Amino acid sequence: MSVFFALRDSPERRAALSAGAGAPERYRLFGLDEIGRRARVRHNLERDAPAPGWARATSAALNTLVYGIGGYGGDFASILPSLRTINSADVVFSTVDTVGLPLMLLRRAGVVRVPVVYTAIGLPERLVQLRGARVRRSYVDALRRARALVSYAESEVQWLRDWLGDGAPPVVFVPFGVDTKAFRPKTAVTPEIDVLSVGADPRRDFELLRTVAARRPELSFRIVASADNARALTALPANVAVETDIPLTAVRDRLAAARVVALPVRDNSYSGATTTLLQAMAMARPVVVSRTDAIAAGYGLEDGVNCRLVPPGDSDALEHAIFELLTGADAARALGIRARETVERSLSWARYTDALWDVLSG
């Protein structure tokens, strides 16, 4: 069996491909290594150079057309040069919507001719931007041509089933996972920071954390963010330090040295800080996270049992949960231990890739 991985072309993906086998960054490849042990695997980032000029020009023209009629496009440029390889595979695994929507539009046009398994990560937020009934029908038709759709959020699964209606392909919930060997407790590390927050997702609510930090000048806060997220943070209190775009091994060190991990997220359908949440839980850190739809069900999270769940946008609840964990060392330690047990039991990377293989091989 041969599987073609359609990956988003980004510096992070390129760095993950260059990292050695077993490196923590390889999770950004969505199981390419593990699926590669069971099948022949190719992907669209095999060229070291960016997409050729003709592909970029064609992509620009297609996106102008798509957006002009009220649709939603994506990265055609990283897909077009690989069409021959794509059509020689048994199945295509689209890992993100950025390449997924172009793939499905090309499949609707008859250019992509093999089965596609489509991963939705925030697809509802894109689909609600479609303008006009005719365009919506076109996207329904395009997405129905997927062999299956995968989502990492139960709430997104139900939304997509309703939107696609009768005749939809299977829409499957696959919980994301974490490498419990790469991320494990480091009991010898002495905490150096009271509250740590990590994330590059645009749905992160670092402004909410800044509000809490301003109320608690006696506590130390550290934010590890993307450069874009960091630029949006202004007038930070003196007790807040910011780092940007550091390696995942350094992120792991920051997690180990934090007394509490706080992950505030704005309300949305797909993002629950899931990756960082699972990494912190695997390291037995006490975590406070916003109860968004993406993690409210399907991940076995229980407030006060293996994490603290707070309403999105509620600074008082976030502050209260953080302070309780900082002042209750025994309770925080017990929360972290149960967090580790949860990911070992049901949210490991092996469990994620096994579930993914079941979908692809099916």
pLDDT by residue for the chain (362 residues), tens only, comes to 999 999 999 988 999 999 988 899 999 999 999 999 999 999 999 988 889 999 999 999 999 999 999 999 999 999 999 999 999 999 999 999 999 999 999 999 999 999 999 999 999 999 999 999 999 999 999 999 999 999 999 999 999 999 999 989 999 999 999 999 999 999 888 899 999 999 988 899 999 999 999 999 999 999 999 888 888 888 899 999 999 989 999 999 999 999 999 999 999 878 889 999 999 999 999 999 999 999 999 999 999 999 999 999 999 999 999 999 999 999 999 999 999 999 999 999 999 999 999 999 98
Residue 188 lies in a domain: no
Residue 260 lies in a domain: yes
Same domain, residue pair 326 and 353 = no
Distance of CA 185 to the CA centre of its chain: 23
Same domain, residue pair 164 and 200 = no
Name the nearest CA neighbour of 193 among 279, 255, 276: 255
Same domain, residue pair 152 and 227 = no
Residue 130 lies in a domain: yes
Residue 183 lies in a domain: no
Residue 184 lies in a domain: no
Name the nearest CA neighbour of 118 among 91, 137, 141: 91
Q: How many CA atoms lie within 13 A of 131 on its CB side?
A: 8
Name the nearest CA neighbour of 325 among 279, 292, 289: 289
Query: What's the pLDDT at 232?
Result: 84
The 8 Å CB, 24+ separation contacts for 208-215 are 208/264, 208/313, 208/315, 208/318, 209/262, 209/264, 209/318, 210/236, 210/237, 210/240, 211/315, 212/262, 212/315, 212/318, 212/319, 212/322, 213/237, 213/239, 213/240, 215/319
Query: What's the pLDDT at 262?
Result: 98
* Residue 256 · residue 186 · CB < 8 Å: yes
Q: Kindly tell me the sign of the dihedral angle through the C-alpha atoms of 24, 198, 180, 298.
A: negative
Structure tokens at 121: 């990560």
Q: What is the distance in angstroms between the CA of the first residue and the CA of the last residue of the chain?
A: 11
Same domain, residue pair 226 and 291 = yes
Query: Domains in the chain: how many in total?
Result: 2
Residue 186 lies in a domain: no
* Residue 263 · residue 199 · CB < 8 Å: yes
CATH number at 228 reads 3.40.50.2000
Q: Is 235 helix (H, G, I), strand (E, B) or coil?
A: coil
Q: Is 288 helix (H, G, I), strand (E, B) or coil?
A: strand
Same domain, residue pair 163 and 205 = no
- The pTM score is 0.93
The residue range of the domain holding 54 is 2-177+349-361
Query: What's the pLDDT at 229?
Result: 85
Residue 182 lies in a domain: no
Name the nearest CA neighbour of 199 among 289, 326, 75: 289
Same domain, residue pair 235 and 141 = no
Same domain, residue pair 197 and 157 = no
Angle formed by the axes of helices 274-282 and 329-346, nearest 10°: 110
* Residue 340 · residue 284 · CB < 8 Å: yes
Same domain, residue pair 208 and 325 = yes
* Residue 185 · residue 340 · CB < 8 Å: yes
* Residue 321 · residue 286 · CB < 8 Å: no
Rounded CA-CA distance 216/211 in Å is 9
